[in-house]
Structure 1
Amino acid sequence: MAATLAGCGAGGGSGDVTLKLVAADYGSSQANTSQKYWDGVARSFEKTHPGIKVDVDVMSWKDVDREVAEMVADGNAPDLAQIGAYADHAAADRLYKVDDLVSVATQANFLPLLSRAGQVDRDQYGMPFAASTRLLFYNKGLFEKAGAQPPKTWDDIRAAAGKLKAKGVPYPFALPLGAEESQAETMMWMLAGGGGYRDSTNLSYAINSPENVATFTWLKDNLVGKGLTGPVAPGKLDRQAAFDAFVRGDVGMLNGHPTLMDAAEKAGIDVGKVPLPSPDGEPRPSMGVADWMMAFKQNGHRKEIGTFLEYVYQDKNVLAFSDQYDILPVTSTASADMRSDPRHKALWPFLEELPTSELYPVGRTSWARVSESVKKNIGGAVAPGSDPDTVLSGIAREAEDAAADE
């Protein structure tokens, strides 16, 4: 989930300023590309704000972070970028502080959890733009045929997966721990098991904590080792491949987000949704995800950037984006609107999880290296003959090295 706004220099001799916006594409095709959304917002803004133009460049998720980094390295930083992480740019003093850009009312309207996650050393640099939480999805039709019940504990997950396997379901529980986005799947299971990437102080990484080791030992012994995760080894299974299989009706259970829910239901899958259970069924925080808007100082367009951001974060625009891409709004007023509108009933379970969810440690510059280590190695924690403690300890050492370089 990311879109990026990149801004360049001023316009012609009239004194106009052109803000260049580089945005990642949340759409799945040209028919629903984010280019259309941003063009609409930009043209509408320009009609009521003469003297400020917005030039939009939408890029794929695979390219946008790298492209922005290259722009910065080339001395052509964007005015605005909405991408997956802001901490490196904040640490390098490239960004405006949020309170130098928007009004107190706009800043206070961001959901508190997301505002805190956008801070480095108590100053906010990252503005949340889009948010999501994760729930456990299950195929109601396959569950009914297998005589399985929606899980409330980890033992329930194992039991349901066994029944699904007996009925020939290819992926009783799809466990994507491949390189694409396994840092997300990892965090979901860690939280459900009472652990997480960080310790209780949120200051240090705790990747090889006893709770995390117990979680991956359970996955290895009770799902992977019993042949309940399908024909592709979890370490080789990417998230999109798992999602595609769910949409085809080949998956009994997997962790999913709102966009997958919409795609599956359009394909005729009757989707059930529950929070990912804990071992004993007690509630645990779900994983939250946010994408970030940031403003670069290089071109000196602080006032114009702030004016545009005030417009971007009006409820009508926040809700329009959420409506189009089944994304959770990042402001309190838009969230309240969604919660009271029956048209958004399908998103209410995700919305309910957001205030108590936990996000990646995006405020730490070490997180990018830690995330890459997880994506590269975590599949090995559940592989046959592996030792989860050894794998997690290896990732933990890389995390400690990355943290020491911050």
Structure 2
Amino acid sequence: MQLNDEQKVDEAVERRRFLGLTAAAAALATTGTATGCGVLGGGDGNVTLTVVAADYDLTGGDSTKRYWDGLVAAYRAKHPEVTVQVRIESWNDVDRTVAEMVKAGEAPDIAQIGAYADHAAADRLYSADELLSIPVQANFLAPLIAAGENRRTQYGLPFVASTRPLFYNRDLFEAAGAQPPTTWAELAAAAEKLKAHGVPTPFALPLGPEEAQAEAMMWLLSGGGGWTDAAEHYAIDSEANIRTFEWLRKNLVGKGLTGPVAPAELNRKAAFAAFAEGRVGMLNGHPSLVKEAAGKGIRVGQVPLPGIDGKPKTSMGVADWIMGFRQNGHRKEIGDFLDFLFSDENVLKFAGDNDLLPVTLTASARMETDPQHANLREFLKALPDTQLPPVGKTSWAAVSENIKQNIGRAVAPGGRPAEVLGAIGRAATAAEAAE
């Protein structure tokens, strides 16, 4: 029997009710702009919550600030006793800013950043059970709950999410007589046709240091592997992963189908810009690229990233995180504010404004039926079955950086995937053992 979204929420509520009561029993037993600080909202309340949040505006505007302004104003109307101060930081700085605040003994009450595991492992964060009402906690999509866990307890609360299907330029495909691929062989064949038609980059493969860990993970999953095994231990140099990179090196890079820039030197931002300018035939895309490319006259097609013989069992999802810090002791106020933030209205407002995906069952169901967000339906369809990077591991930050700096060498001329993946894998296993 198929459950509708309301039934799924009810079922999840019952499933997690015991967890919430158990956690409670255990507890009884035991701003401004992207370049500065400021106050969004105000007042003379009895409690002041401090929030540090990332800037999602890709155009240099103030859409993120306006979202938080509206959110705080609406919350204050219902909770005049709580003042909320929000500081907006660029993505280049926000994680470091929060780390510096924590080191200085001035942790914010709430941080909306890219990673939570280090803070969770150091016991700086409230768990989801300590903060959220049971219906709110149960409403998160299952892959995002799992990805938000450190040592089997959820500390990272998903803020927004995205998936990464294969994008292709419809006009270039039609001119070259290529078909949207469903297998690796079909992808290589389409790239050959695009190259023969004169497309500068038939397939963009950004394995440069900006986000190589994500591009690589998409390919590993499509090849039946991944960064971790079924027991959630690193398995970077598995046979499946080595096969995947051998295929990329031989069938795409080795045949000149990945364009004039070596994958190890190509960053995602440059690849996306080239796609939006009509110089790339295919790449693994992000929701924000749809609007950017369409704005420049590119007709974008979307299909799931092909697997070896067809659609892979799973694809990659990505989430950004929000969390509550223990230092100031404002557990109740933090929880009330986050319950408010995770209402359908607020979740949909931020996700929709930024061409990203909502993180809850009910908001996802509403977005899927909204004609205004028809361009996000392929992304939404993929999200419930995605696998996220192992962000719950405290070692992941260092492992991810190692991947960013070195994985591109695996597909270079004369590259040896087994050696490159083996070196990264040994370092990852050592880092995991030290957790």
TM-score when normalising by structure 2: 0.89
The answer to whether the Cα contact below 8 Å between 1:7 and 1:18 also exists between their aligned partners in 2 is: no
Query: 1:1-20 counterparts in 2 under 5 A?
Result: 16-20=46-50
**1:383 correspondence with 2:380:** no
Is 1:120 equivalent to 2:136 in the alignment? no
SS of 1:287's partner is strand
Structure 1 CA distance for aligned equivalents of residues 295 and 45 of structure 2: 49
Deviation at 1:85, TM superposition (A): 1.2
Pick one of 242, 246, 255 that aligns with 2:271. Answer: 242
| 2:227 counterpart of 1:197 | yes
Query: Residue 160 of structure 2 corresponds to which residue in structure 1?
Result: 130
| Structure 1 residue 122: Cα displacement | 2.2
SS at match of 2:93: helix
| Matched AA of 2:266 | L
**Secondary structure of the corresponding residue to residue 61 of structure 1:** coil
Supply the distance in 1 between the matched residues of 2:304 and 2:49 (Cα, whole angstroms): 41
Percent sequence identity is 61
CA–CA distance in structure 1, aligned partners of residues 347 and 312 of structure 2: 30
8 Å contact from structure 1 (residues 7, 80) kept in 2: no
Q: Which deviates further from its counterpart, 54-63 or 238-247?
A: 54-63
Worse-matched range after superposition: 25-34 or 123-132 = 25-34
2:89 corresponding residue in structure 1? 59
Equivalent residue letter for 2:177:
G
Letter in 1 for 2:47: V
Partner residue in 2 for 1:98: 128
Whether 1:23 aligns to 2:53 is: yes
**1:67-216 alignment to 2 at 5 Å?**
67-202=97-232, 204-216=233-245
SS of structure 1 residue aligned to 2:418: helix
Contact 2:223 2:312 in 1 (8 A): no
1:39/1:15 Cα in 2 relative to 1: closer, same or farther (>3 Å)?
A: closer
- The one of 378, 387, 391 aligned to 1:349: 378
Deviates more, 1:383-392 or 1:42-51: 42-51
Give the superposition deviation at 1:15.
Answer: 5.5
Q: Output the CA distance in 2 between the equivalents of 1:309 and 1:286.
A: 29
Quote the residue 1:225 is aligned against: 254
1:303 aligned to 310, 332, 343, which one?
332
Q: Which runs of 5+ in 2 are unaligned?
A: 1-33
RMSD in angstroms over aligned alpha carbons?
1.7
What whole-Å deviation, never above 9, does each CA across 1:28-57 have from its counterpart, x for those lacking one? 123353111111111221122111111111
1:334 corresponds to 2:334: no
Match of 1:41 among 64, 68, 71: 71
Q: TM-score, normalised by structure 1?
A: 0.95
Aligned length: 398
Q: Structure 1 residue 214: deviation in Å?
A: 0.5
Instruction: Please list the CA deviations of residues 133-162 of structure 1 after superposition, one character each: whole Å capped at 9, or x if unmatched.
Output: 110000000001111111111111111111
Q: Is the 8 A contact 1:21 1:81 kept in 2?
A: yes
Say which SS state the counterpart of residue 92 (structure 2) adopts: helix
Kept after mapping to 1: 8 A contact 2:38/2:87 = no
Deviations 1:218-270 (A, max 9, x none): 10011111111011100000000000000001000000011111111111110
- Tell me by how many angstroms 1:207 deviates: 0.5
Letter of the aligned partner of 2:203 in structure 1?
F
Aligned-partner SS, 1:179: coil
Q: Contact (CA 8 Å) 2:200, 2:279: kept in 1 or not?
A: yes
Whether the 8 Å CA contact 2:168–2:300 is kept in 1: the answer is: yes
In 2, distance between residues paired with 1:47 and 1:29? 31
Distance 1:200 1:105 in 2: 29
Quote the residue 2:293 is aligned against. 264
SS in 2 for 1:55: strand
